[in-house]
């Protein structure tokens, strides 16, 4: 599911095809380097992450951008964090300016995650997430090493999956859950959903 998007729901300029290609190529190169540094074969990473070796080859060659859920599984297979698959995602200091937020470049899948926190200890992470209509974190729920997560809906509506339970949240609603429960988020509405996502320890 990769809908065609022209913005991230907050007025940001759309990314061009060249921008998206550059993001995919940078991610692929980073993934390949991490895999080779760990002396892991494509097959080994595929088996550990639950995706096909062909798909990993496509990612490493910059042909496809994995969903949030798949990125998390790939990072886990490499014993690293999702942030390590991208460059320069560390906040510069205690204060994170609105125009300097580190951002995960996942707009190709209709998801924009911005880091609001700057905790160098990794004990907590706060994200602002914008999920476009029809977009989601992936087709399968995931876990990524967190103990507790809190989601607060700033605007729009979001569907949160917790194990076999599906919950609908609207503007102003919040939910707290164990990070050990497989989870995911999907926007089934016609307008973007803006969320504050808090995890402890840092999940990305």
**Spatial contact of 163 and 184, defined as CB atoms under 8 Å apart:** no
Residues 13, 184: Cα–Cα separation, whole Å: 27
Distance CA(204)–CA(199), nearest Å, equals 9
What's the pLDDT score for residue 83? 79
Q: What is the pTM of this model?
A: 0.75
Query: Using an 8 Å Cβ cutoff, are 18 and 108 in contact?
Result: no
pLDDT by residue, tens only, the chain of 204 residues: 333 333 344 544 455 777 778 888 989 999 999 999 999 999 999 999 989 999 999 999 999 989 888 988 898 899 888 878 876 556 557 888 888 888 887 877 899 999 999 888 889 999 999 999 999 998 888 888 899 999 999 999 999 999 999 999 999 999 999 999 999 999 999 999 999 999 999 877
Supply the pLDDT for residue 13.
Answer: 47
For residue 25, the SS3 value is helix
Burial of 127 (0-12, 13-18, 19+ CB in 10 A): buried
Block residue for tokens 């990612």: 59
Domains of the chain by start residue, with CATH:
17-85 (1.10.260.40), 98-200 (2.60.120.10)
Q: What is the pLDDT of residue 89?
A: 59
DSSP 67: -
| Phi, psi torsion values for 108, nearest 5 degrees | -60, -25
């Amino acid at each position: 599911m990769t809908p065609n998007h022209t913005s991230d729901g907050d007025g940001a300029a759309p990314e061009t095809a060249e921008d998206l290609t550059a993001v995919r190529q940078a991610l692929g190169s980073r993934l390949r380097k991490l895999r080779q540094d760990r002396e892991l074969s494509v097959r080994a990473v595929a088996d550990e992450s639950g995706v096909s070796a062909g798909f990993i080859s496509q990612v490493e060659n910059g042909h496809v951008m994995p969903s949030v859920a798949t990125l998390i599984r790939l990072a886990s297979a490499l014993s690293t964090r999702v942030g390590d698959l991208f460059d320069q995602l560390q906040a510069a200091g205690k204060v994170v300016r609105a125009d300097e937020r580190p951002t995960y470049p996942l707009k190709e899948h209709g998801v924009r995650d911005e880091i609001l926190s700057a905790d160098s200890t990794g004990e907590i992470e706060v994200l602002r997430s914008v999920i476009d209509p029809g977009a989601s974190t992936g087709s399968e729920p995931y876990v990524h090493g967190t103990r507790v997560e809190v989601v607060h809906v700033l605007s729009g509506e979001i569907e949160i999956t917790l194990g076999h339970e599906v919950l609908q949240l609207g503007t102003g609603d919040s939910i707290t859950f164990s990070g050990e429960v497989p989870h995911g988020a999907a926007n089934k509405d016609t307008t973007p959903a803006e969320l504050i996502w808090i995890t402890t320890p840092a999940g990305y």
